[in-house]
């Protein structure tokens, strides 16, 4: 009598369509992470000391006035009920209203997010090709003067926090050497062309912050591939070092490069809070900091969830692109 081990449909599907199941698995994992993020954001804000009603009314407020504000905002309901109401609103595209201003949060998020995406996009357009190019040059001139200078620059850039870089740029290009095209602040009423000119300083700050990490990872990934046997074969066939790097090493090093680029793109969008505050830039980071100051919890929750969703989305895209770029992951044995 033969014992048969049952094969579940998902395992059978994975055997027939490995690439599809990997992508579906990452989509499901991203959805789970987003739900977990919403729980952590709501729970973390719920655990904060203090109360919006007390902050809004001041220390001299009577207990009855505080109770009335809490009832009006629904703060007297259980935490689980408020979380479910919040999630139900999100599923219908409703982020709620600001406690402090009464404005619709979704409308504010749209304009603020577009400003942050403009800033992050401009920085990415410069930082990504520049960092990959510097990484390739460092590999081409490995252990020579150019490689050492690039590594020295990257170490210096990694060591400096973004607020320090921002204040240095303001000091040099606004205070000591005023340049008309480089104002220290950006205003929401500006047109697209004016914004592209005036965001030069925050973009330069972000580029200097993220370029080093991407460059060093690009260099390390390509050097790792350069030590492979097939690269030695390419050299024996007479291929120049530059052609061997571009045609053979770089395509096989795409997976780690894609991952580090995606992580830094996520930082450009999620980690711009400090840069936006320094330059008084009307983006998501500034919006969230202003909300934290007055304990406007619906705004803080919405901003936190949007940041989490962007971070999860970019990491999911990086995972999928890494699978597509790696033949061993596309066609596992």
Place of tokens 């996520």: 266
How far apart are alpha carbons 50 and 16 in whole angstroms?
A: 55
Give the whole-angstrom CA distance, residue 195 versus residue 188: 9
**Is the pLDDT assigned to residue 47 strictly greater than 50?**
yes
Residue 211 scores a pLDDT above 80: yes
Query: What would the pLDDT profile of 84-124 be if each residue is shown by its tens digit?
Result: 988 898 888 888 888 877 788 888 888 888 888 888 888 88
Is residue 303 in a domain? yes
Q: Is residue 50 part of a domain?
A: no
Q: Which residue has the tokens 């260099």?
A: 219
Q: Is position 11 within any domain?
A: no
- The answer, yes or no, to whether residue 200 has pLDDT greater than 80, is yes
* Residue 174: CATH number of its domain: 1.10.3720.10
- What is the pLDDT of the chain when averaged over all its residues? 78
**Three-class SS state of 188:** coil
Confidence band for 18, pLDDT divided at 50, 70 and 90: low
SS3 (DSSP) at 271: coil
So what's the pLDDT on residue 13?
45
Query: How confident is the model at residue 36, as a pLDDT?
Result: 93
Return the structure tokens found at 235: 């050299």
Range of the domain at 314: 105-330
What pLDDT, on a 0 to 100 scale, did the predictor assign at position 194? 67
- Residue 295 is classified by DSSP as T
pLDDT band at 2 (very low <50, low <70, confident <90, very high): very low
Give the model's confidence band at 60: pLDDT under 50 very low, under 70 low, under 90 confident, else very high: low
Distance from C-alpha of 169 to C-alpha of 172, rounded to nearest angstrom: 5
92 assigned to some structural domain: no
CA 182 to chain centre: 25
Round to whole Å and give the CA distance between 282 and 114. Answer: 10
pLDDT (tens digit per residue) in 154-184? 888 878 888 888 888 888 887 777 665 555 5
Structure-model confidence comparison of residues 58 and 332, the more confident one? 58
69 in any annotated domain: no
**C-alpha separations of 205 from 122, 126, 249, 310 in Å:** 12, 12, 31, 21
Over residues 283-314, the pLDDT tens digits come to 888 888 888 887 888 898 899 999 999 888 88
Write the burial class of residue 297 (CB in 10 Å: 0-12 exposed, 13-18 middle, 19+ buried). buried
The pLDDT value given to residue 162:
82
Report if residue 242 sits inside a domain.
Answer: yes
Gyration radius of the chain over CA positions: 25
Of these ranges, 126-130, 246-250, 325-329, the one predicted with the greatest mean pLDDT is 126-130
Distance CA 264, CA 262 (A): 5
Q: Tell me the β-bridge partners of 97.
A: 104
Q: How many domains does the chain have?
A: 1
Residue 159 belongs to some domain of the structure: yes
Read off the pLDDT band of 35 (50, 70, 90): very high
pLDDT tens-digit series, residues 226-244:
777 666 676 666 667 777 7
Strand-pairing partners, residue 104, are 97
Q: What Å distances lie between residue 191 and 187, 198, 199, 268, CA to CA? A: 9, 10, 12, 22
Look at residue 247 and tell me if it is in a domain: yes
């Amino acid at each position: 009598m033969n014992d048969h081990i049952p094969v579940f449909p998902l395992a059978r599907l994975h055997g027939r369509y490995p690439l599809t199941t990997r992508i579906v698995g990452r989509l499901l994992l991203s959805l789970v992470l987003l739900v977990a993020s919403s729980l952590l954001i709501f729970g973390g804000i719920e655990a904060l000391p203090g109360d919006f009603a007390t902050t809004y009314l001041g220390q001299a407020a009577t207990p009855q006035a505080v109770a009335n504000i809490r009832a009006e905002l629904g703060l007297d309901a259980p935490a689980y009920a408020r979380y479910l109401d919040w999630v139900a609103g999100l599923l219908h595209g409703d982020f709620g209203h600001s406690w402090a201003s009464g404005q619709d949060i979704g409308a504010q998020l749209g304009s603020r997010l577009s400003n942050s995406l403009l800033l992050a996009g401009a920085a990415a357009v410069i930082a990504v090709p520049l960092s990959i190019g510097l990484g390739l040059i460092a590999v081409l001139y490995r252990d020579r003067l150019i490689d050492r200078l690039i590594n020295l620059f990257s170490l210096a850039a990694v060591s400096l926090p973004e607020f320090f870089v921002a204040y240095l740029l303001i000091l040099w290009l606004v205070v000591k050497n005023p340049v008309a095209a480089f104002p220290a602040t950006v205003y929401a009423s500006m047109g697209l062309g004016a914004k592209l000119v005036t965001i030069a300083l925050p973009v330069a700050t972000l580029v200097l912050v993220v370029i080093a990490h991407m460059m060093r990872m690009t260099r390390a990934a390509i050097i790792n591939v350069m030590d492979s046997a097939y690269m030695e074969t390419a050299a024996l066939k007479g291929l120049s070092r530059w052609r061997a790097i571009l045609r053979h090493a770089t395509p096989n090093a795409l997976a780690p490069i894609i991952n580090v680029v995606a992580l830094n793109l996520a930082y450009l969008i999620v980690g711009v809070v400090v840069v936006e505050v320094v330059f008084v830039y009307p983006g998501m980071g500034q919006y969230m900091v202003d909300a934290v100051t007055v304990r406007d919890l619906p705004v803080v929750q919405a901003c936190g969830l949007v940041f989490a969703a962007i971070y999860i989305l970019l990491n999911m895209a990086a995972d999928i692109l890494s699978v597509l770029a790696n033949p061993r992951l596309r066609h596992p044995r």
